[in-house]
Amino acid sequence: MTTSSAPGKVYLFGEHAVVYGEPAVPCAVGRRASVTVEERDDDRLRVEAEDLSLDGFAITYGDDLEEADVNVPADLVEAATGYVDGAVAQARDAADAPDAGFNVSIESAIPLGAGLGSSAAVAVAGIDAATRELGVELDREELADRAYQVEYEVQEGQASRADTFCSTMGGAVRVEGDDCRRIDDAPELPFVVGYDGGAGNTGELVATVRDLRETYGFAADTVEAIGDVVRTGEHALREGDVEEVGRLMNFNHGLLSALGVSSRSLDTMVWAARDAGADGAKLTGAGGGGCIVALDETEGVETALNYTPGCEETFRAELDTEGVRVE
Ligand code: MEV
């Protein structure tokens, strides 16, 4: 039996635009998904997943999703199981063991589909645990690449390397197309996360932006403008100018909103955080519902979000510098 875990992430800048080759800066945070894998003596797959939200609930499915004991939306369960199936396929391929069967058990402190990189963390930890269980140790570059292939397939060919690279390597990272690197001179940032208890479907939201971009020149310009915000923001980050980073996060949220991937509850939390004195606040991840990330040294934003209608949970998130690890 082998257990690996990998961190979730928040996007300081650049989600969605990164799918079209613009740069993005996600940061790994200290909430992890753990995947335990045990090789079976047949070629079947059984998956159990627990605590896939901050509230905690369980989904269990065997070979047939119909048998699932599920109280989460079916499309999210399908997406989650797609990532697990993809991770297992990658591990079988990497270990040249096409008939390997597994019992897989997932425990996650990262809410599903909420913009904190749950799927990337499950894909990274799942491939790491399953290959190790088969006696193969992948280097981190290959692991990140294989996890990206999983996201690419589940998101029907429209995915960036940002989530999977960040979850594998940890820390603040910069991703632009295939060029992925860590930003080692980033200052510690006072992240506060607000969670509305909901979720967005990444594949659908990515498709929404794709359609807008193909229909309107100004939507394509908006995607490019996000790239400009990221480049300016990355400079501010390296300079340690947290106020400027915050201002640019606000700008980035406005552009994501224009692309239709925010929601009433995300906007409400963003404004509550700003009103409470945040240096900046924006949605994180694919949007549609889920989480916002704000910067605030003080208790002000956390307190304000706790009293904001529609905000179900608030927490501080520390930067995770470790990335994937064996438990
Ligand atoms: C989702 O966490 C981030 C997106 O940019 C999609 C991707 O990068 O693959 C929306």
Tell me the CA–centroid distance for residue 17 and ligand 1, in Å. 8
| Residues with Cβ within 8 Å of residue 137, at least 6 apart in sequence | 131
Burial of 232 (C-beta count, 10 Å sphere; 0-12/13-18/19+) = middle
pLDDT surpasses 50 at 93: yes
pLDDT given for residue 54 in this prediction: 37
Dihedral angle computed from the Cα positions of residues 212, 280, 228 and 26, in that order, rounded to the nearest 10 degrees: -80
Strands 173-176 and 191-195: unpaired
Report the percent of the chain where pLDDT is more than 90: 76
The band of 296, judged by pLDDT with boundaries at 50, 70 and 90, is very high
pLDDT band at 40 (very low <50, low <70, confident <90, very high): very high
For residue range 278-291, what is the model confidence (pLDDT) as tens digits?
A: 999 999 999 999 99
3-state helix, strand, coil in the chain (%, to 5): 45, 25, 35
Helix (H, G, I), strand (E, B) or coil at 163: helix
**What residues flank ligand 1, with Cβ below 6 Å?**
15-16, 18-19, 151, 155, 159-160, 162-163, 202, 206, 285-286
Higher pLDDT, 312 or 44: 312
Catalytic residue from among 128, 163, 196, 296 = 163
Ligand 1 pocket test, candidate residues 11, 13, 16, 213, most atoms within 8 A of CB: 16
Establish whether 163 is a catalytic residue: yes
**What domains appear along the chain, each with residue ranges and CATH number?**
2-184 (3.30.230.10), 191-317 (3.30.70.890)
- The better pLDDT of the pair 64, 276 is held by 276
- What does the pLDDT average to over 182-205? 91
pLDDT beyond 70 at 172: yes
For 104-156, the pLDDT digits (tens) are 888 888 887 788 998 899 999 999 999 999 999 999 999 999 999 999 998 88
Mean pLDDT, all residues of the chain = 91
Residue 72 has pLDDT above 70, yes or no: no
